[in-house]
Amino acid sequence: MYLSRRLDDRELILKRQNQAFFQISCAGHEAIQVAAGMHMRRGVDWLYPYYRDRAICLTLGVTPLEMLLQTVGAAADPASGGRQMPTHWSFPELNIVTPSSATGTQCLQAVGCAHASRLAQGDEAEEYEVTVVCAGEGSTSEGEFWESINAASLEKLPLLYLIEDNGYAISVPVEAQTPGGSISKLLQSFPGLSIYETDGSDFQASFTTLEQAFQHCRNGGGPALVHAHVTRPYGHSQSDDVASYKTPAEREEEDCRDAIQRFADVLLQEGIAKRTDLLDIQAGIEEEVQRAAIEAVASPPPKPETVMHYLYSPDVDPTSAAFSTEAKLEGEPRTMVDLINVCMDDEMARDERIYVFGEDVADCSREENLEQVKGKGGVFKATLGLQRKHGGRRVFNSPIAEAAIVGRGTGMATRGLKPVVEIQFFDYIWPAMMQIRDELASLRWRSNNGFSAPFVMRVPIGGYLNGGSVYHSQSGESTFTHIPGLRVIFPSNARDANGLLRTAIRCDDPVLFLEHKKLYRETYNRSQYPGPDYMVPFGKAAKVREGNDLTVVTYGALVQKSMLAAANIAEETGASIEVLDLRSLSPYDWEAIAESVKKTSRVIVVHEDMLSWGFGSEISARIASELFDYLDAPIGRIGAMDVWVAYRPELEREILPQTKHVEAEMRRILAY
Euclidean distance between the first and the last CA atom of the chain, given in angstroms as a whole number:
75
Determine the Cα angle at 71 with ends 79 and 11, to 5°: 140
Residues that bind Mg ion (CB under 5 A): 136-138, 166, 169
If the CB atoms of residues 55 and 605 are measured against ligand TPP, the closer one turns out to be 55
**Sign, Cα dihedral of 326, 332, 338, 341:** negative
**DSSP codes of every residue in 299-327:** SPPPPGGGTTTTSS-SS--TTSGGG----
User: Do 361 and 378 contact (CB within 8 A), yes or no?
Assistant: yes
If the CB atoms of residues 163 and 610 are measured against ligand TPP, the closer one turns out to be 163
Q: Cα–Cα distance between 548 and 551 in angstroms, integer? A: 8
Of these, 10, 52, 518, 583, which contacts ligand TPP (CB under 6 A)?
52
- Quick check: bond before 302 cis, omega within 30? no
DSSP annotation of 635 reads P
In angstroms, give the least distance from the CB of 665 to Mg ion: 56
If you compute the radius of gyration of the chain from its CA atoms, what whole number of angstroms results? 28
**Which positions ≥6 away from 588 have C-beta within 8 Å?**
481, 539, 541, 582, 619
User: Do 357 and 398 contact (CB within 8 A), yes or no?
Assistant: yes
Q: Cα–Cα distance between 285 and 184 in angstroms, integer? A: 36
Active-site choice (115, 236, 472, 516): 472
Q: Cα–Cα distance between 644 and 602 in angstroms, integer? A: 30
Q: Cα–Cα distance between 438 and 52 in angstroms, integer? A: 19
Q: How many residues bind ligand TPP (CB under 6 A)?
A: 15
Of these, 14, 169, 354, 557, which contacts ligand TPP (CB under 6 A)?
169
Residue 294 binds: one of ligand TPP, Mg ion, none (C-beta under 5 to 8 A by kind): none
| Longest pairwise C-alpha distance within the chain | 99
Residues 64-103 that bind ligand TPP (CB under 6 A): 101-103
Does 137 participate in binding ligand TPP (rule CB under 6 A)? yes
Does 109 participate in binding ligand TPP (rule CB under 6 A)? no
In angstroms, give the least distance from the CB of 112 to ligand TPP: 19
Residue 487 binds: one of Mg ion, ligand TPP, none (C-beta under 5 to 8 A by kind): none
Report the relative pairing of strands 527-529 and 330-334 from DSSP bridges: antiparallel
Residue 544 binds: one of ligand TPP, Mg ion, none (C-beta under 5 to 8 A by kind): none
Residues 543-582 that bind ligand TPP (CB under 6 A): none
If the CB atoms of residues 129 and 439 are measured against ligand TPP, the closer one turns out to be 439
In angstroms, give the least distance from the CB of 195 to ligand TPP: 18
Of these, 136, 200, 537, 639, which contacts ligand TPP (CB under 6 A)?
136
User: Do 475 and 639 contact (CB within 8 A), yes or no?
Assistant: no
**Sign, Cα dihedral of 40, 44, 48, 52:** positive
If the CB atoms of residues 4 and 527 are measured against Mg ion, the closer one turns out to be 4
Residue 615 binds: one of ligand TPP, Mg ion, none (C-beta under 5 to 8 A by kind): none
If the CB atoms of residues 37 and 136 are measured against ligand TPP, the closer one turns out to be 136
Of these, 168, 310, 355, 538, which contacts ligand TPP (CB under 6 A)?
168
Q: Which stretch binds ligand TPP (CB under 6 A): 168-176, 200-208, 413-421, 608-616?
A: 168-176
In angstroms, give the least distance from the CB of 409 to ligand TPP: 19
In angstroms, give the least distance from the CB of 408 to ligand TPP: 18
If the CB atoms of residues 230 and 421 are measured against Mg ion, the closer one turns out to be 230
Site string for ligand TPP, 232-261 (x = CB under 6 A): ----x-------------------------
If the CB atoms of residues 25 and 473 are measured against Mg ion, the closer one turns out to be 25
Give catalytic status of residue 227 as yes or no.
Answer: no
User: Do 552 and 578 contact (CB within 8 A), yes or no?
Assistant: yes
As annotated, the active-site residues are 472
Give me the residues that bind ligand TPP (CB under 6 A), please.
52, 101-103, 135-139, 164, 166, 168-170, 236
